[in-house]
Amino acid sequence: KQEVTQIPAALSVPEGENLVLNCSFTDSAIYNLQWFRQDPGKGLTSLLLIQSSQREQTSGRLNASLDKSSGRSTLYIAASQPGDSATYLCAVDTGNQFYFGTGTSLTVIP
Amino acid sequence: GAGVSQSPSNKVTEKGKDVELRCDPISGHTALYWYRQSLGQGLEFLIYFQGNSAPDKSGLPSDRFSAERTGGSVSTLTIQRTQQEDSAVYLCASSSTQGQRQFFGPGTRLTVL
């Protein structure tokens, strides 16, 4: 069974700092990997999706990379802002199943 | 529609009752997904549909859970003989087709007393 781990579980940084969130998965047979953010009491928002054939995706201040062979993905957030405070989740698609990590809770301090 | 909608937003039921949760995906999206998030737990995948077909139902927690989708649009998740451990937020998502970005609804909070 696929296991998805996110490190760290929680992170607190001052505003303006660049940061990296990590996601690892145990089975490299994936179709894609997706990063989401979840705000308290709200649903999930898709940030980036990386297909298994891709190495990275960028959207604004966000950059996600994928190393399928080593079972790792990173989400890089540049010039963090207080509005980036949320829980970030990665999820892998194995075709018929989807596995989410437990998330990283990010707090950006003004 | 503009986004994924779910109803009801909240549901309180008594142990042993059946409940039905509804999901309206984004118009034109052929893939639809059901998840649940229990208090303090991560997101658990339940089932997904491509069109009206669910290729793999092994993610459903027990045979009390069933889901259907008709007309390639609305989906319902039914829980029979609810138990207290079924209490969770049930989330629905849709994507244009399988393997694309998923867009989530606001969820249905189910409380089983």
- For residues B11-16, give the mean pLDDT: 97
- Proportion of chain B above pLDDT 70, given as a percent: 99
Residue with tokens 């042993």, as numbered in its chain: B16
Q: What percent of chain B has pLDDT over 90?
A: 85
Q: Is the pLDDT of residue A36 over 70?
A: yes
pLDDT band, residue B1 (cuts 50/70/90): low
From the candidates A44, A49, A54, which should be mutated to test the interface with B, based on the most B CB atoms within 10 A? A44
Instruction: Specify whether the CB–CB gap between A99 and A24 falls below 8 A.
Output: no
Distance, CA of A90 to CA of A74 (rounded, Å): 9
The answer to whether residue B12 scores a pLDDT higher than 80 is yes
d(CA B46, CA B65): 9
- Using the CB atoms, write b or e for A51-78: b if 16+ within 10 Å: eeeeeebeeeebbbbbebeebebbbebe
Closest-CA residue of B relative to A43 is B106
**Interface residue of A93, A94, A99, A102 to substitute, partner B, most B CBs within 10 Å:** A93
Query: Using CA atoms, how far apart are residues A104 and A87, in angstroms rounded to an integer?
Result: 5
pLDDT computed for residue A42 by the predictor? 79
What is the tens place of the pLDDT at every residue in B46-84? 999 999 999 888 899 999 999 999 888 999 999 999 999
HSE-CB at B51 with a 13 A cutoff on CA atoms is 2
The band of A77, judged by pLDDT with boundaries at 50, 70 and 90, is very high
What pLDDT is recorded for position B55?
85
Cβ contact B45–A98 (<8 Å): yes
Q: Are A46 and B102 a contacting pair at CB < 8 A?
A: yes
- Look at the alpha carbons of B97, B98, B103, B107 in this order and tell me if their dihedral is positive or negative: positive
Task: Single out the residue of B57, B58, B92, B52 nearest to residue B70, CA to CA.
Answer: B52
